[in-house]
Amino acid sequence: MRPLRLVETTPGNYSLLLDAGTTTVDEVIEELGHEPNGYFWEGVAQLLVSTEAPDLAARFDYDPEGGMFCAYGTDRPALEELAARMAAVATDADRVRQLVATAAANGFEFDD
To the nearest 10°, the Cα dihedral for 98, 63, 111, 44? 0
**Exposure pattern of 59-70 as b/e (b: 16+ CB <10 Å)?**
bbebebeeebbb
Question: Tens of pLDDT along 20-45?
Answer: 999 999 999 999 999 999 999 999 99
Answer whether residue 69 shows pLDDT above 90. Answer: yes
Helix and strand numbers (H, E) in the chain are 4, 4
pLDDT for 1 beyond 90: no
Task: Please give the domain boundaries of the chain with CATH numbers for all domains.
Answer: 5-100 (3.30.1360)
Residue 29: predicted pLDDT:
97
pLDDT at 112 over 90: no
Please tell me what DSSP assigns to residue 15. Answer: E
